[in-house]
Structures are given as structure tokens and as C-alpha cells.
């Protein structure tokens, strides 16, 4: 894995097992909820939910171009437009290095005690290089995401260790209609999104620490500007994390200082494109300093070394897998967020997105 801009990176979605045994990949990224053709599922409590073929469903309907929900797919379409086809134009969803293509559909989303009518989904007809799942559930900051269409006030998840990736032990997802404060959580507010990046969850971060050392990250990288540059976002669909070049250099320089007693593996760095990498052969115990995000409001998220390093225990090697555009980008300050707090970094954290109060709550626990 070399150096990349965030939009080019492979994502690692939260896998959620829905009633009926169907796997859904949940991400902060996608705008829409997308299901593979002939894989439109209802949430039902019985042993197995049948797949629904849209043509045979009495409640499914192709999205018309004049429907207001078509606007993101065809901004020129409106009630007076003469340039629209009968159906809303087909969509293309680009997710990491993969993509999906299909058409928009309105359908009922059935729960045991509630039905969401005219629920907007994308019915995928072709896809390439996407994670294996029955569909994507979009949790981005948009009116077309799953929680917003359902009208929930908050949602939460707790990411399992990736040691369980090949098992049926899926992470839990909670959709909550209550608006009370959850006990035991530390909170930090969502920031206002820059116009070019409306779907992300930006967090107000004051600084970052490696162990006990405060790094003094320049403020322009910690908060999004009106031009869309800078800021930190949290995204469970992003595997390890991302830091723009100048931030990456500050973080890794301090990391190298604090881990100087371990031998660097330059060969692995060359092969993987990651840096720094270490060879821990001969060490009975390994100490990697915590990576600590200090958020506005006083909340701190402590990321242990096991969550922000990737290990190859069979040969005693490990790398810092956070990717960067350093070395490939000539711009000193790239468009988009400067820091992405990725999936692996908040494993074993209960994370709550309080949509009504526009804040993130979290606590460390075993998921």
C-alpha cells in the first residue's frame, strides 16, 4: 500500500449482521443506501428473511426524476424540467477503489413494530471491487442516509476486534429514537461542514499526543476551512486512518523518537509503502505509546498501539499503517480533511452519533 489521497483508498466497512442473516456494510461515506439487485431485504425477526425481487413487490417504485429525492442524482431535475427522462438517472457510487452502478428505488423498510414508507435505496445492477456484503447502509451526514430517512435521533456502534473478521461475530449497530444523554460517554460536538464536503462528521480537535508528548499540530489542519481544507473526520468505513503530509511528518517523527530502541525494518517499508515499520525480533515485550486525540470540550480518545499499528506476529514485524499524501502531492495543504480517524483506531469503543444534538459520544469498552 503506497501513499494515497483519501478518495483513492480502500475502505474497511463496519460489518453488521441483520435479522435474517444478511450482512450489511455500514459506512459514514456513501450518500445513499445501496443493495445488490434481487437483494432488497426487509428487517424481520423470523429465522430467515426472503430476498425481495423489486419487480414482484407491490410497494416498490422506480424513483421519478421529478421527485425531490432525485435531486442529488440529477440537480437539474425539478418539477418544471423538460430535460429529465421518466426515471431518475442511474447512479454511480464510488467507494474506496470500488464502484457500483444502478437505479434508484422507493420501497417500504419493514421492522417488527414500524414501517418506513418510500424509503430511498439504490438497486445495484453492476459493481466492481467492493467488500463482500449484501449491501451498503449509508450513515453519512445527509438527509438520504439510513438514520435520517428513519428519523432516528441517534445511532451507535461498537466495533469488534478485527480478529473476528472471518467469523459471524458481527459488530452491533443501535438505532435510537430517544434523545436522552447516554451515561458514561464523553462528548464532543460536530463542526459545521465545509460546502464541498457535506456528508462527513467533522470533530473539533485541539491537538494530538503521542504518549505524554503534545505534538502542537498547527490549527489550520485541525479545523475545516471554508475552502474545504483541514479538519478531522471520523469514518468507520476508512480502514486505518489518513493524515495529510505535514501532520503525518509531525506524528511519525515523534513516534520514531519514542520507539528508537526498536530496529526499523526498511525492507518492509520499501515493500509496503508504509512507514515506520519495525522488527521486534528478540523483544519479549513491546511498548507502543498511545495515540491520543484531545477534543474540544475536554474529551480524549486514547488509541492503544494495538489499534493503530498493524502486526505480522509470525515474523515479529509491525508497521504504522496510517496513509498519507506526503511524497506524492506537491500541494502543502491538500483539499479535504487533514486527518481521518479510521475504523481500526476506534475498535473496542462504543461510539454514539447524536444527530439531534450534533455531537459524538464515546467510551472505551470491550465490544
Helix (H) or strand (E) holding 106: strand 98-111
Q: DSSP string covering 25-56, please?
A: EEESS-SS-EEETT-B-----SS-PPPB-GGG
Residue 173 near residue 138, CB atoms below 8 Å: no
pLDDT at 24: 47
For 100-147, write each residue's pLDDT tens digit. Answer: 888 888 999 888 888 999 999 888 888 787 666 667 788 999 888 999
Q: Where are the domains of the chain?
A: 30-138, 186-364
CA distance 154 to 168: 26
pLDDT at 191: 97
CA distance 360 to 154: 10
pLDDT band of 234, cuts 50, 70, 90: very high
3-7, 77-81, 245-249, 354-358: which has the minimum mean pLDDT? 3-7
Q: Is the peptide bond before 276 cis (omega within 30 degrees of 0)?
A: yes
Of all residues in the chain, what percent carry a pLDDT higher than 70?
A: 74
Exposed, middle or buried, 300 (CB in 10 Å: 0-12/13-18/19+)? middle
For 8-43, write each residue's pLDDT tens digit. Answer: 222 333 433 333 344 445 555 555 565 543 333 323
CATH of domain 30-138: 2.40.70
pLDDT at 27: 56
Residue 150 near residue 109, CB atoms below 8 Å: yes
pLDDT band of 212, cuts 50, 70, 90: very high
Mean pLDDT of 350-364: 96
Angle at the Cα of 33 from the Cα atoms of 170 and 11, rounded to 5 degrees: 55
Q: Please say if the pLDDT value at position 270 is more than 60.
A: yes
CATH of domain 186-364: 2.40.70.10
pLDDT at 335: 82
pLDDT at 355: 96
Q: What is the DSSP letter of 238?
A: B
pLDDT band of 7, cuts 50, 70, 90: very low
Question: Are 30-138 and 186-364 in the same CATH fold?
Answer: yes
Mean pLDDT of 340-346: 93
CA nearest neighbour of 176 among 156, 190, 159: 156
Mean pLDDT of 323-347: 81
pLDDT at 222: 96
Q: Which residues touch 315 (CB under 8 Å, ≥6 apart)?
A: none
Q: Please say if the pLDDT value at position 162 is more than 80.
A: no
CA distance 5 to 197: 15
In this prediction the pTM is 0.81
Residue 122 near residue 102, CB atoms below 8 Å: yes
Backbone angles phi, psi at 111, to 5 degrees: -115, 165
pLDDT band of 302, cuts 50, 70, 90: very high
Q: What is the DSSP letter of 192?
A: P
For 185-202, write each residue's pLDDT tens digit. Answer: 999 999 999 998 999 999
Amino acid at each position: 500500500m503506497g501513499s494515497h489521497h483519501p478518495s483513492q483508498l480502500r475502505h474497511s466497512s463496519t460489518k453488521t449482521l441483520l435479522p435474517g442473516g444478511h450482512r450489511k456494510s455500514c459506512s459514514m461515506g456513501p450518500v445513499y443506501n445501496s443493495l445488490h439487485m434481487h437483494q432488497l431485504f426487509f428487517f424481520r425477526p423470523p429465522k430467515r428473511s426472503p430476498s425481495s425481487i423489486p419487480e414482484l413487490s407491490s410497494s416498490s417504485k422506480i424513483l421519478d426524476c421529478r421527485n425531490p429525492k432525485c435531486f442529488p442524482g440529477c440537480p437539474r431535475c425539478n418539477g418544471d424540467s423538460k430535460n429529465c427522462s421518466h426515471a431518475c438517472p442511474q447512479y454511480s457510487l464510488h467507494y474506496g477503489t470500488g464502484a457500483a452502478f444502478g437505479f434508484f428505488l422507493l420501497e417500504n423498510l419493514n421492522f417488527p413494530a414500524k414501517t418506513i414508507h418510500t424509503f430511498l435505496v439504490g438497486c445495484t445492477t453492476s459493481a466492481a471491487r467492493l467488500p463482500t456484503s449484501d449491501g451498503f447502509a449509508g450513515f453519512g451526514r445527509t438527509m438520504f442516509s439510513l438514520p435520517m430517512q428513519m428519523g432516528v435521533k441517534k445511532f451507535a456502534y461498537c466495533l469488534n476486534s478485527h480478529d473476528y473478521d472471518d467469523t459471524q461475530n458481527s459488530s452491533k449497530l443501535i438505532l435510537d429514537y430517544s434523545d436522552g444523554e447516554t451515561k458514561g460517554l464523553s462528548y464532543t460536538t460536530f463542526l459545521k461542514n465545509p460546502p464541498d464536503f457535506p456528508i462527513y462528521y467533522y470533530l473539533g480537535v485541539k491537538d494530538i499526543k503521542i504518549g505524554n508528548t503534545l505534538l502542537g499540530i498547527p490549527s489550520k489542519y485541525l479545523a475545516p476551512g471554508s475552502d474545504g481544507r483541514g479538519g478531522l473526520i471520523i469514518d468507520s468505513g476508512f480502514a486505518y486512518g489518513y493524515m495529510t503530509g505535514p501532520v503525518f511528518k509531525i506524528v511519525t517523527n515523534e513516534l520514531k523518537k519514542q520507539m528508537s530502541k526498536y530496529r526499523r525494518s526498511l525492507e518492509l517499508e520499501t515493500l509496503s509503502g508504509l512507514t515506520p515499520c519495525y522488527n521486534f525480533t528478540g523483544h519479549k515485550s513491546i511498548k507502543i505509546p498511545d495515540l491520543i486525540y484531545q477534543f474540544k470540550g475536554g474529551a480524549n480518545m486514547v488509541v492503544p498501539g494495538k489499534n493503530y499499528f498493524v502486526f505480522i506476529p509470525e515474523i515479529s514485524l509491525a508497521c504504522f499503517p496510517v496513509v498519507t499524501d506526503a511524497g506524492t502531492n506537491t500541494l502543502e495543504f491538500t483539499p479535504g480533511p487533514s486527518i481521518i480517524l479510521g475504523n481500526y483506531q476506534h475498535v473496542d469503543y462504543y461510539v454514539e452519533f447524536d444527530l439531534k444534538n450534533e455531537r459524538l459520544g464515546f467510551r472505551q469498552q470491550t465490544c
